[in-house]
Amino acid sequence: MQIAPVATPRTEAITAATTPITAPFNAQITTVEDVAGIDQGSRRRGSQTNRAVHWLSTGLSAQAKFLPLVAVVAAAVALAAPVHADPDVDFANELHTYGIYGGKDYNAWIGKITCKRLYNGLDKDADMSAKFVFQQLQKGSTTAQAWQFLGAALRTYCPDKLPVLEQAAPQ
């Protein structure tokens, strides 16, 4: 009596990697590596990923394989556009140039409320908005700082309301 060998996932993987493969169409496929070169059922050979896998499986040294990859990644990082900062941080930084300090979140909240008051018609003009802002600023703030705050808030959070500020300029 002869006992047949038992197939395990490990032995099947080893066998599959060395066993020639036949294709249902007239392709020249002889190994598992050749299968990796086919772009999912089409007769076209190799997607970009599969070409990269094939290139990496060539006999080049590790340095020769990865040096171009490192160069491409370095170039991508160097040429990447900077990510736009948080508008609240930009707003706080602009306020600091006017000597207006305070909690970043609080100032951003006041700026956003100012825009909402203009959208809802609660403040009919920039003068009413500047008065609202002045009441929210720290004691000792000037009227000029309230107007600077208002201008920064409109530029940052509701640029479509800038004409309200421009209408107040001739007054």
Q: How confident is the model at residue 42 (pLDDT cuts 50, 70, 90)?
A: very low
Q: What is the pLDDT of residue 59?
A: 65
The tens digit of pLDDT for each residue in 114-136 reads 999 999 999 999 999 999 999 99
pLDDT tens profile 63-83: 666 677 777 766 666 666 566
pLDDT over 90 for what percent of the chain? Answer: 44
- 25 pLDDT more than 80: no
Q: Check: CB of residue 125 under 8 Å from CB of residue 167.
A: yes
Q: Which amino acid is it at 76?
A: A
d(CA 45, CA 39): 6
Instruction: Give pLDDT tens digits for 138-152.
Output: 999 999 999 999 999
Q: Which residue has the higher pLDDT, 153 or 48?
A: 153
- Three-class DSSP category at 45: strand
Q: Tell me the pLDDT of the chain averaged across its residues.
A: 77
Residue count of the chain, please give it: 171
- The larger pLDDT score, comparing residue 9 to residue 128, is at 128
**Cα–Cα distance between 162 and 25 in angstroms, integer?**
67
In percent, how much of the chain has pLDDT > 70? 52
Q: Count other C-beta atoms under 10 Å from residue 97's C-beta.
A: 9
Q: Does pLDDT of 159 surpass 80?
A: yes
Kindly give the interhelix angle for 143-157 and 87-97, rounded to the nearest 10 degrees: 160
- One-letter amino acid for residue 138 of the chain: Q
- Token duo for residue 89: 């941080």
* Cβ-based neighbours of 111, under 8 Å, separated by 6 or more: 91, 149, 152, 153, 156, 157
Where residue 45 falls among pLDDT bands split at 50, 70, 90?
Answer: low
pLDDT band at 169 (very low <50, low <70, confident <90, very high): confident
Q: What is the mean pLDDT of residues 94-102?
A: 94
Compute the distance between CA of residue 77 and CA of residue 20 in angstroms, rounded to an integer: 43
